Structure 1
Amino acid sequence: MITVYGMSSSGNCHKVRMALELLDRPYAWIETDSAAGQTRTPDFLARNPNGRVPIIEREDGSVLAESNAILCWLGEGTTLMPADAWERAQTMAWLFFEQYSHEPYVAVARFICGWTPADSPRRAELPRLRERAGEALAVMERHLQSYDWFGGQGLSIADLALFAYTHCADDGGISLAAFPQLRAWLQRMLALPQIEAMPSPPGLVATA
Structure 2
Amino acid sequence: MTFGTIEIVNGIFSLIFVVISLYVGLRIIAKYLRIKSSTLLFMGLTWIGLTSPWWGSSVSFILGTISGQGLSLQLYLFITLTPLPIFFSFYLKAITALLWKDKQSSILAIYMLIGLLFDVFYILFIILAPEIIGRLELMTDIRFKSFTILYLILIIFSFLIFGVLFGKASLKAENPEIRLQGKMLIIAFISFSIGSILDSSLTLNFVTLPITRLILISSALEFYSGFILPDWLKH
Q: Could you state the TM-score of these two structures normalised by the residue count of structure 2?
A: 0.28
Which is higher, the Rg of structure 1 or of structure 2?
A: 2
Q: Could you state the TM-score of these two structures normalised by the residue count of structure 1?
A: 0.30
Higher helix fraction (1 or 2)? 2
